[in-house]
A and B are shown apart, each in its own frame.
Chain A
Amino acid sequence: MSNGLLPSRQLIGVTRFHWQQLLGPIVVVIAVSYLTSGVSASFSYLTEGALALLVMVLSLQVFIGNSGVLSFGQAAFAMVGGFASGLLTAPVKIKENVLDGLWEPLKAVNMGIWPSLVIAVLVGALFAFVTGLLLMRLSGLAAGIATFALLMVADNVFFNWKLIGPGPQVMPQVPKFAFVDESIVLTVIVIIVVYFFGISRRGRLLRATREDALAARALGASVWHLRVLFFTVSGGIAALSGAMYAHHAGAVTARDFYLGFTFTTLAMLIIGGASSLWGAVVGTILVTAIGQVLLVLEGGVTFGSVEVTLPNGARGLVIAAALVVILIWRPKGVTGGKEFNLPFLNRKSAAAHDSHVQRTDANMNIKP
């Protein structure tokens, strides 16, 4: 049988960890956040909101990107997290005055932001786990529709059931983050979690089920177990996003996490490239930036002698159009679904005179 020339054994196979793929997105997120938030107070506020959205897009990435199953329902967990963290931190007096129907123990409890975030994540993950046990039996179109139904159910429950929240009202007086730094720290933690789930053994197996579920089962991969696990992780992260949003806006309502939120975050993921962490980061930054430029244009801008004013709603239209363009011409997103990789930064040891080795190195984590 034929025998090719072998590079040294250690260099072959899949890498466990590629520092660039993790540090690249972290550095970019930190740099962009401080650059933009340094511009002005309103930019700082905007940055904080964008970080909450990024955490949501990362939640979508860890599930959709790895499993290949489209979920329209993750915003339900953001709702759970936003409500949980908001209710746990709002002043008791406010709850007594404004939220008369609220369950008594919920009225009485009051804690700091950080412990409330932990509880929000746990509650979100628990909800995702329980619903995932059922939903993850479905695939393809059925899964898409069922997860959408989950969003509808969550919206109806939160919008109408005053025992667990403000119902159709706004829940006011949620304590805000003092600095943008808190959101940055939380986002970096989420990036790390999402990265390590992605390159874990289970993450690799889940991505294999995405390519060929039957073949993956022959390797011992339980499609249902893996999907439930990642759905649960995604639910916890989505809940964190909802909670971050609540502490960013200082208020929370069920409608904050409904169709617009779902569409925007999915568009960010798909435009950036659903199959990589880097795609989630790039998509969020791009869509946020485009959205801000258009927002300014909607307000009217003068270039020399020409005044440009876009009609209201142009933002939504442009983002929707960008999504369609991407889906048609670059379905893997602007990053091509690849992880962050600057070739000149690759360690010299991959010395690899063997370009092949580097290829495999890079490949395993990148592949959509």
Chain B
Amino acid sequence: MTQMLEAVSIVKSFGAIRVLEDVTVTVRKGEIVGLLGPNGAGKTTLLNIMAGYETQNSGTVSIDGGCIDSLPPEARTKAGLARTFQSGRLFPELSVTENVVLGAIGAGASIKVANRRALDALEMLGLTAVMMQPATGLSHGLSRLVGLARALTANPEYLIMDEPAAGLNNHETPALLAALESIQRESGCGMLLIEHNVGLVADACSRVFVLASGELLFEGPPEDALADEAVLSAYLGDATMGLPGGIA
């Protein structure tokens, strides 16, 4: 069986509002997949369901064929599924390094190993300049990156990232994507990358899913997404959609 992270036929409502309508997303081991869509499409909700922070009304989430629906978030992390938060969610009282170290400690590493992995992750993401700073003072973009470094130190099998590139500039975003690609090459981690901006991640992703208003509009290679009628109309009026390096 192929090793993959699957969210199959996910339906989710908040009260009377249907937020996800029969959505299926898969991420194979060693693959970077984009999950794209305009504001309010349901991307974060789907991520929360995969990570165990929300319960779906129907559908299943599984890792390498094993259903994980009954597992709480921390057990999913232990099962190899790490996540980041759209808002970073760093521990405000700790420094950047201390935050990142905790990712490895949570995954069971000794403090010595955790220190080493933290430094590797910080170097990889170009965060060494801020590593001694307190986590509170960071910009949103940097907080998310530190959050990503923290998730990476757990050496996850699958990593789902909520808009890690938001708030980064035209130089930082390609550098982030390059770092993700090299992590994926080295560790074979399967990654789901949430992004608002289709053009931005096209190069890094082997496949993309496009979500709008809770429905899956498109699944396939990123270059086809940019030519897809339904995708284009979902993004109608959103000038940043197709422009690589545009500010989302």
Contacts and interface: CB of A to CB of B under 8 A. Distances in A.
B105 A204 contact: yes
A94 interface: no
A233 B66 CA distance: 36
Nearest to B117: A13
B126 A205 contact: no
Contact of A219 (B97, B106, B115, B125): B106
Interface stretch (A2-10, A26-34, A58-66): A2-10
Given A218-B73, A221-B74, A363-B98, A4 B131 contact: yes
Given A219-B106, A219-B107, A214 B98 contact: no
B102 A204 contact: yes
Interface in B74-97: 74-75, 77-78, 82-85, 89-95, 97
Nearest to B147: A215
B232 interface: no
A363 B107 contact: no
B151 A218 contact: yes
B111 to A, nearest CB: 5
B94 A214 contact: no
Contacts, number: 125
Contacts of A343: none
Contact of A208 (B75, B102, B116, B130): B102
Interface string A220-236: 11110000000000000
A16 B111 contact: yes
Given A4-B131, A221-B106, A212 B98 contact: no
A220 B106 contact: yes
A215 B85 contact: yes
B150 interface: yes
Given A211-B94, A212-B91, A360-B97, A1 B77 contact: no
B69 interface: no
Task: Please indicate which of the listed interface residues A9, A217, A219 has the most CB atoms of chain B within 10 Å of its own CB.
Answer: A219
Given A3-B128, A220-B78, A363-B98, A368 B93 contact: yes
A353 interface: no
A2 B123 CA distance: 9
Interface in A194-222: 201, 204-205, 208, 211-212, 214-222
Contact of A212 (B77, B89, B103): B89
A4 to B, nearest CB: 4
B82 to A, nearest CB: 7
Contact of B172 (A1, A205, A363): A1
Given A13-B114, A217-B77, A359 B106 contact: no
A219 B93 contact: no
Interface residues of A, number: 34
A137 interface: no
B97 A205 contact: no
Contacts of A204: 102, 105
A12 B115 contact: yes
Task: Please indicate which of the listed interface residues B90, B98, B116, B118 has the most CB atoms of chain A within 10 Å of its own CB.
Answer: B98
B132 interface: yes
Contacts of A6: 128
Nearest to A204: B105
Nearest to B89: A215
A217 B72 CA distance: 9
A324 interface: no
Interface string A355-368: 01101100110011
Contacts of B41: none
Task: Please indicate which of the listed interface residues B93, B115, B128 has the most CB atoms of chain A within 10 Å of its own CB.
Answer: B93
A46 B123 CA distance: 55
B94 A367 contact: yes
Interface in B119-140: 119, 123, 125-126, 128-132
Contact of B111 (A14, A214, A368): A14
A360 B101 CA distance: 12
Task: Please indicate which of the listed interface residues A1, A360, A368 has the most CB atoms of chain B within 10 Å of its own CB.
Answer: A1
Nearest to B90: A215
A368 B172 CA distance: 34
B90 A363 contact: no
A219 B175 contact: no
Interface in A334-368: 356-357, 359-360, 363-364, 367-368
Nearest to B94: A367
Nearest to B174: A1
Interface of B: 51, 53, 72-75, 77-78, 82-85, 89-95, 97-98, 101-103, 105-108, 110-112, 114-116, 118-119, 123, 125-126, 128-132, 150-151, 154, 172, 175, 179
Given A1-B175, A222-B72, 5 more contacts: A14-B101, A14-B114, A16-B112, A211-B94, A217-B72
11 contacts: A1-B179, A3-B128, A4-B128, A6-B128, A13-B116, A205-B106, A208-B106, A211-B91, A214-B73, A219-B103, A364-B101
